[in-house]
A = this chain, B = another copy of it.
Amino acid sequence: MEVNRIYKGNCINKLTELESNSVDLVYFDPPFFTQKKHSLVTRDESKKYEFSDSWDSLNDYLDLIEACLIECKRVLKETGSVFLHCDKVASHYIRVTLDKVFGMKNFQSEIIWSYKRWSNSKKGLLNSHQNIYFYSKSKHFKFNQYYTNYASTTNIDQILQDRKKTAKGKSIYKTDEDGNIVLGKEKKGVPLSDTWEIPYLNPKAKERVGYPTQKPVLLLKEIIKIVTDKGDLVVDPFCGSGTTCVAAKSMDRNFIGIDASQDAVELANRRLEEMIITDSALLNKGYNSYLEKSEYEMAILKSIDALPVQRNSGIDGFLRKHFNEKPVPVKIQGKRETLNDAIEKLEKSCQGKEFELKIVIQTRKESRGNRLFELESDIEIIQSQELIIEELKEKSTVPNNV
């Protein structure tokens, strides 16, 4: 079976065609058991999408889920994981099935996806979260630990200083013989929590393509990030409008999507071609940023008050304030680019446009020979602060004449 394609067909049949132990992540998002027929029209009302989630009984529904899960387990590598996203009405029954297929021991986390939502008139609490169950195939599952910032209540001594135990078992800050503070080892921050606050798709967002139960790309990117690496294979057996595939493609993972509906397959393919990812103000400001441009580049642009632009290899952003009534393009030297590459790319993107100031931000050290080249261009080169700090460190390491 070819990767990076979306297949129309029955989920179990298509999964059967997949080789055993070949998949790194299955995102499993079955049609909800609500006994209702879903449908939605696109904004221009030209097309209607439909799927049926009206099984005769809960048991039939669960039998189908179980059969799918068994196939999912077969295709997963030993290091692979499944993320099952389900609706609140049947989630507990589905989890019982998960225990049956994967084993209670392989339950890793219940992820709570919480979001703010428009109120409804329901009596009771406003429903504003969904549950995602994370099971691994074995205890050797792949997991990319990543770290978030400390809480605002955490004080710095806590982070900085080492501790020791007194004879009485009290834990106190460590001091050396002279009574000086002993500093602790490198800290990484706080491990990612199992509750994720990610904005629900804004009803007007570009990303919205008129298909029921669409998930935000950011949610899928987060999942893909923690349990797969580049080049790994992600499978979504109920791919619907293809959000998982869009997320996987944007992160250089391979993907296979399956859906029973021809409409869904066509829609997903169109999305993959267009690759629209919401870039709304809300998402930018979000508690965490889960953006396409690397977070590092985004941070640099933000720190110089520049607006990021997407999908232009020569320009990463523009300063928000014009200079001499002209925009100021900014290019950040990429990880795999030489400084000259970066300059040339920016030059190329600027051709035919009259800018008064063009900026390249250098992110890596370069031999002097190459750097002379920069004089031929009117581009201004400034060093990234990280680079400046690197040089500071080198200077401090080689003792100067004090």
Contacts and interface: CB of A to CB of B under 8 A. Distances in A.
Contacts of A116: 151, 153, 190, 193
Nearest to A349: B156
Interface stretch (A233-241, A262-270, A315-323): A315-323
Contacts of A122: 191
Interface string A378-397: 00101011101100110011
B45 A309 contact: no
Interface residues of A, number: 107
Interface stretch (A88-96, A207-215, A243-251): A88-96
Given A129-B112, A145-B123, A299-B302, A309 B156 contact: yes
Interface stretch (A13-21, A63-71, A290-298, A333-341): A290-298
Which of A114, A307, A319 gathers the greatest number of chain B CB atoms within 10 Å? A307
Which of A112, A156, A192, A315 gathers the greatest number of chain B CB atoms within 10 Å? A156
Contacts of A3: none
B303 A299 contact: yes
A194 B287 contact: no
Interface of A: 45, 88-89, 91-93, 95-96, 99, 104, 107-112, 114, 116, 119, 122-129, 131, 134, 143, 145, 149-156, 159-160, 168, 180-181, 183, 185-195, 226, 282, 285, 287, 290-292, 295-296, 298-300, 302-305, 307-312, 315, 318-324, 326-327, 349, 352-354, 356-357, 359, 361, 380, 382, 384-386, 388-389, 392-393, 396-397
